Amino acid sequence: MNAAPKTLRRLSDLDQAGLAAAGRRAALERVAARYAVAITPAMAALIDHTDPHDPIARQFVPDAAELDTTPEENADPIGDRAHSPVEGIVHRYPDRVLLKLTHVCAVYCRFCFRREMIGPGAESLGPRALDTALGYIADCPEIWEVILTGGDPLVLSPRRLRSAVNRLAAIDHVKVIRAHTRVPVADPARITPALVRALKARGKATYVVLHANHPRELTEAAREACARLIDAGIPMLSQSVLLEGVNDDPQTLGALLRTLVECRIKPYYLHHGDLAPGTAHLRTSIERGQALMRAIHGRLSGLCQPAYVLDIPGGHGKSPVGPNYLSRDEAGNYRVEDFNGALHCYPQKVCLPKT
């Protein structure tokens, strides 16, 4: 009887799967010693071994380029630590906080902005730290939404997840619980009825935000996993990272966004790549991202349009950096560009405040 496929965690696993670059063993060992490696069977099965630039492999298979760090890169590129009042909490915006329940993921993305903080051996939030984190949330009445993150909160057992959700539900001013996850695409079998029930809290709105970057990630099994959540009354959004050689062309990005909508998942964010160490080979330019947003504007349904955002280095939050379609002419009237690139006048006087 054949053993069930296992998650690839060591270079020897990658060797056996034919995923380790020939002649680069020493460099890859240095990469794996610094940054966590895990490729689930679901993701490994999607990799096209005949394509040296396979977009799934680029996301998960270690690359010697990760050893190259540029001067602007930072181990904490979006300033989590500067906004962490207690362990496990990031409070960057007034009405919401991140709650990092675990530092473990089902898969480890090569572009991860928390790559210096997560992986095997990294501690999950212990009972005492969790008590303190929940106490902080309870003591801040302005917190309306709690975002479960990590790591990936859906790697936790249903029992642990249910306990955390129920304790959040007991805080009256918390109205929304949002979970950010890769699990439905990386390990769809984890989305069991018990886990779905664990996410729901009476009297609270629960959302799940799926991280997917390429249309091939939305396999039949992944679609079924997402449907289990949605059919249980949990709305789903998506977030994607703009990655060179993965989704930085209009056809691939458009196919991803349309596939998400077909799965009843609303595209939410398209993130510009963060300045995490060793990720320059996967980052595009902002101009490239803006051009892609222009390419899909008007050509894809409004349901398919995410916000293209940049997380400002240092912890200053996200800002939209999509293209601008509004300018002014010499007379002060507005000029509005349509999706075909044509300019149209919109008179200034209709926008002037009434006196």
Q: What is the largest CA-CA distance in the chain?
A: 82
Whether 54 sits among the annotated catalytic residues: the reply is: no
Q: Is 93 a catalytic residue?
A: yes
Residues 220, 184: Cα–Cα separation, whole Å: 11
H-only helix segments in the chain: 11-16, 25-34, 41-44, 55-60, 127-138, 158-169, 183-186, 193-199, 220-231, 250-262, 286-296
Single out the catalytic residue among 92, 100, 190, 223.
Answer: 92
Q: Which of 54, 63, 152, 274 is catalytic?
A: 274
274 given a catalytic annotation = yes
Beta-strand (E) ranges in the chain? Answer: 89-93, 96-100, 145-149, 176-181, 205-211, 236-241, 265-271, 307-311, 318-320, 326-328, 334-337, 343-346
Q: Is 351 a catalytic residue?
A: no
The active-site residue, picked from 9, 30, 34, 96, is: 96
Which of 294, 318, 325, 334 is an active site residue? 318
Of the candidates 108, 112, 178, 226, the residue annotated as catalytic is: 112
CA distance 310 to 324: 15
318 is catalytic: yes
248 is catalytic: no
The one catalytic residue among 58, 100, 110, 114: 114
Amino acid identity for residue 161 in this structure: L
- Give catalytic status of residue 48 as yes or no: no
Q: Count Cβ atoms within 10 A of the Cβ of residue 281 and give its class: 0-12 exposed, 13-18 middle, 19 or more buried.
A: middle
Told to judge if 140 belongs to the known catalytic residues of this protein, a careful annotator would answer no
Question: Does 109 qualify as catalytic in the annotation?
Answer: yes
Which residues participate in catalysis according to the annotation? 92-93, 96, 105, 109, 112, 114, 274, 311, 318
